[in-house]
Amino acid sequence: MIRTRNKMNEWISVEERLPESYEYVLVWYTYYRYGDYNCDYSTYAIAYYVKNYNMWGSPDPLGSNPRIKYWMPLPKPPEN
């Protein structure tokens, strides 16, 4: 049986490479969660990288001191 690789399921380490500037991608990251938790919390979000400032941005808050670990391209939108 021949298996093909599904590139949509492959996370890319930020240490390996970064997305193009302002390209929206899915990110896996950790951030410090205060309050009753007081620990690192891991989750995902839609975000973009800004090369000129070496920083990440997002339409939604990424929490306190976010550390992006992995990213992957978003799928193409459906065609009408």
What confidence tens digit (pLDDT) does each residue in 10-19 have? Answer: 999 999 999 9
Tokens of 29: 């990251």
Q: How confident is the model at residue 61 (pLDDT cuts 50, 70, 90)?
A: confident
Tokens of 30: 């950790």
Q: What is the pTM of this model?
A: 0.79
What does pLDDT average to over the chain? Answer: 87
Kindly tell me if the per-residue pLDDT of 46 is higher than 60. yes
pLDDT score recorded for residue 21: 97
How wide is the angle at C-alpha 4 spanned by C-alphas 12 and 7, nearest 5°? 25
pLDDT score recorded for residue 60: 87
